[in-house]
Structure 1
Amino acid sequence: MTAAAEPIAPSRRTLWRARLATLALFFVCGAALGVWAAHIPLLKSGLALDDSTLGLVMLAMGIGAVVAMPCSGALIHRFGAVAVSIASGLAIAVALALPPHMPDPVTLGLSAFLLGLSLGGIDIAMNAHAAAVEKAFGRPIMSSIHAFFSIGGLFGAAGAAGLVGLAVGAKLGMGAGGAVVALIVLAAARFLAFEDRPETEGGHGLRLPSRAVLLLGLLTVCSFLCEGAMMEWSALFLRDVAGASLGLAAAGYAAFSATMTIGRLLGDRFVEALGPARAVQLSGAVAAVSLLVVTFAPNPWVAFAGILAAGLGFANIVPPLFSAATRAPGVAPAAALAMVASMGYSGGLLGPPAIGFLSDAFGLRFGFGLLVVAAAIVALFARRTISPPSPRP
């Protein structure tokens, strides 16, 4: 009998091309959200929506993303992460152009659902592919890849805001955004693949989570809950609780996002030096202490400094957790990642309303105390939850 040929390891040049193409996908995902966010005021005024109706439209988008994630895991198992990434990226381009053409709130909500569906699909696929590229590199690269999501959001929002300022209208602005997304996805498509076939071991994508996946998902819920709450509530906390000026309060989430992006750009070396479990443990501890400072800050500047530090703390929690999900025993990498991400994004979706209910009942300071507990859970359980990566060949 003739022995099966060993697979040929990809060259470093091929790996770097795959890495850069994966960065482009993360950039596209963030940029699409930035374009969407910048046009929300125009969409609201165009259909004369009240705040509650607009909130339902945004909820439809979040539901679409959460619905897509487990399905994406099954599709990746069948077709591979590269194919699902490209298809989802092109779907984002189409879905991004649709909302300004919708004639009423119902169809606007449907278009938002489709955009969320596309974003949820690419989220799992590009993270699964990034984890495969990271495994081939033999060292952590997930944090810096995730940084390009934030960078894409900055460029997408800034570019769209410029078009809004020029009064080109939502149809042209969001259409142009969709066209740019399609061009970037098509340019990256030819460089994504670096293996002859995708990894599909471990079963199909739709199944109940194992204990290891469930624990990773719970830590991801804690992180996304905090990140979502910072996006929705940090400005209000600075203004109403810490007594900050309007300008300082408005800069709160931007500062959090900036330090998170910096932390992720520098995070690969941090994770490599400490190992993923220790890195997440330390990151959770920094996040918990920082949020504790924010919660009991004696003045707005101390609260603002705590928000800056919290961004650094949360920077390197989710990327190592997503990488760890693809190493969960007995589960296909994409399936495990889909489960963990679905749990995490559900936490991000439900977290801000939960903080609102707690704030109404006990005050916003109490609500931020919940975030301290969530970050502390990450610090306490990271070491016993995250399995180490396989040794380099």
Structure 2
Amino acid sequence: MPPSAARRSTFAIFALNGFLLGMWVVHIPEILERTGASTVVLGYLLLLLGGTALLGMQVGGRLIDRFGSRVVAVVAGLALSACLVGPGLATSVPTLAIALGLLGAFNGVIDVAQNAQAVEVERAYGRPIISGFHAFFSLGGLVAALVGGGLIALDTDVRLTLSAAGALGLLVTLAARPALLPPAPGTTRESGAPRVRAPWTLRVVVLSLLAFMLLLSEGVAYDWSTVHLHDSLGTSKSVAAWAFGAFSITMTVVRLVADRIVARIGAAAYVQRAALIGAFGLTGAALAPNATVAIIAWAVFGVGLAGCVPQFFSAAGNIDPAAAGTYLARVTGMGYLGLLAGPAIIGILTNWVSLTTAFTVPIVGCLIAGLLAPSALRTEKAKT
């Protein structure tokens, strides 16, 4: 099977993951109404979803080292698709908690598995291609927003919508399975064999720290970009939405072209420059005198962040192919923790300082990422 076929199938898995998560997100208000959950309860439920996702990542990493990313990605894709209907069927807070716990766990597993498969496909190509996979994740979320929003406008029952989306996920996963790459010889652990040592080296720690800081910054854009325009600049809610829209568009577009830039200048140089652009963009948003400048600045912030984190995942997966799942689980887990922690940190800081002053945290994070990128993304041959 040619690597191009595996690349297309991996695109499909990433897009499916973004689509399934997006279908849950766009139906949150309706699901809250059905279950009687308040926004406060939603906060706890989202923490539960995030916590089980982190657990799923660590379990998924070990399963990948044992069975390979193809098997784990397929099983997790089928399970995630089947679990999507759970939130739609929930009629109370306890049943919604169970549904979201399962959804989060299998999302964590597929997150690590799809990135491990992407690293294997990238290795087969012999050139950077990993950012393109993350672009398809973003595209999947965009499709979910358009399709889900359209079905909500048509007053379609959420149970029917999520069931149909889950059925589509089952079909896409099964269709993608044959072309996904099997594990290379010697990269999976035989039954009964001791686990490959995967020590927390300085490089793994730095990669995890960089993923934490830049995904923290990304999380700030998700949850605070619209609030910034509405509360700090006094715009309407419809205008404020353009801040996140601009950020999302540039994130997706740049991910489609970032691999070519990385191939030309190298991952370390790319992250150095891109992280600096990200810091510049968020600084511009914090200092923006009006909505137009702020929206442009949030777009620049997206340009900076778009292609950085995939480089950390690629580096982690190539430290030792025999322990790629474990290393990826550590780096993606720390990154996901940053994604969850970023919005919360900003919210806590606004008790003492302004929102724009609180943006200093992700700005500094971007600058540190640019500074440490050379040591974390040095070029070296993967172990065989």
Structure 1 residue 195: deviation in Å?
5.6
Are 2:93 and 1:105 equivalent residues in the alignment?
Answer: yes
Match of 2:359 in 1: 368
Quote the residue 2:67 is aligned against: 79
Residue in structure 2 matching 1:340, options 331, 337, 341: 331
Residue pairs, 1:343-354, within 5 angstroms: 343-354=334-345
What's the TM-score once normalised by structure 1's chain length? 0.92
Q: Deviations over 1:357-382 (max 9, x none)?
A: 00121110111111111111111111
Matches of residues 188-199 of structure 1 in structure 2 within 5 Å? 188-193=176-181, 197=185, 199=187
Mapped to 2, the partners of 1:206 and 1:94 lie a distance apart of 34
| Cα RMSD after superposing both structures | 1.9
Deviates more, 1:380-389 or 1:138-147: 380-389
Tell me if the contact between 1:130 and 1:142 (Cα under 8 Å) persists in the aligned partners.
yes
1:194 shift after superposition: 5.3
**1:48 CA displacement:** 2.0
Q: Identify the residue that residue 116 of structure 2 maps to in structure 1.
A: 128
Q: Could you say what secondary structure the match of 1:361 adopts?
A: coil
CA distance in structure 2 between the aligned counterparts of 1:195 and 1:325, rounded to whole angstroms: 17
Paired residues of 1:234 and 1:252 also in contact (CA < 8 A):
yes
Once residues 74 and 106 of structure 2 are traced to their aligned partners in structure 1, the CA distance between those partners, rounded to angstroms, is 11
Distance (Å, rounded) in 2 between the aligned partners of 1:21 and 1:330:
21
Letter in 2 for 1:159: V
**Secondary structure in structure 2 of the residue aligned to 1:266:** helix
- Partner Cα separation in structure 2 for residue 281 and residue 379 of structure 1: 4
User: Counterpart of 1:301?
Assistant: 292
Is the Cα contact below 8 Å between 1:81 and 1:198 reproduced in 2? no
1:19 aligns with 2:7: yes
**1:170-319 matched pairs, under 5 angstroms:** 170-193=158-181, 197=185, 199-200=187-188, 204=195, 209-319=200-310
Q: Tell me the amino acid that sits aligned with residue 41 of structure 2.
A: T
Pair 1:173–1:205, CA change in 2 (3 A): farther
1:385 to 1:203, Cα distance in 2 relative to 1, 3 A: farther
TM-score, length of structure 2 as denominator length: 0.95
The residue type equivalent to 1:288 in the other structure is A
Query: Alignment length, in residue pairs?
Result: 379
Distance across 2 between alignment mates of 1:205 and 1:71: 15
User: Is 1:286–1:309's contact at 8 Å kept on the other side of the alignment?
Assistant: yes
Distance (Å, rounded) in 1 between the aligned partners of 2:197 and 2:234: 48
Asked if the contact 2:203/2:375 (under 8 Å) is kept, the reply is no
User: In terms of mean alpha carbon deviation, does 323-332 or 209-218 score higher?
Assistant: 323-332
Residues 195 and 108 of structure 1: is their aligned pair in 2 closer, same or farther, counting only changes over 3 Å?
A: closer
Structure 2 partner of 1:9: none
Describe the SS at the equivalent of 1:293: helix
- 318, 326, 329: which one pairs with 1:327? 318
Deviations 1:117-161 (A, max 9, x none): 111100101100100110110000001111000000111221122
Specify whether residues 198 and 46 from structure 1 end up closer, same or farther in structure 2 by C-alpha distance, changes over 3 A only.
Answer: farther
The CA deviation at 1:389 is 5.2
1:253 offset after TM fit, Å? 0.9
Contact 2:19-2:144 at 8 Å conserved across structures: yes
Q: Quick one: which of 7, 18, 23 aligns to 1:30?
A: 18
Q: Say if 2:77 and 2:169, in contact at 8 Å, map to a contact too.
A: yes
- Cα contact 2:271–2:308 (8 A) shared by 1: yes
| 2:128 aligned partner | 140
Deviation at 1:284, TM superposition (A): 0.5
Gaps of 5+ in 1: 1-12
Return 5+ residue gaps in structure 2 as ranges. Answer: none
Superposition deviation, residue 331 in structure 1: 7.1
CA distance in 2, matches of 1:194, 1:389: 24
Q: 1:381 to 1:240 in 2, by over 3 A?
A: same
SS of match in other structure, 2:27: helix
Change in 2 beyond 3 A, CA 1:103/1:289: same
Counterpart check, 1:160 vs 2:148: yes
Give identity over the alignment, percent: 36
Summarize the Cα distance change of 1:46–1:195 in structure 2 as closer, same or farther, 3 Å threshold: closer
Letter in 2 for 1:336: Y
Shift of 1:163: 1.7
Distance 1:95 1:203 in 2: 33
Q: Deviations over 1:4-44 (max 9, x none)?
A: xxxxxxxxx61000000000000010001110011111101
Instruction: Please state whether the residue corresponding to 1:66 is helix, strand or coil.
Output: helix
Q: How many angstroms does 1:242 deviate by?
A: 2.6
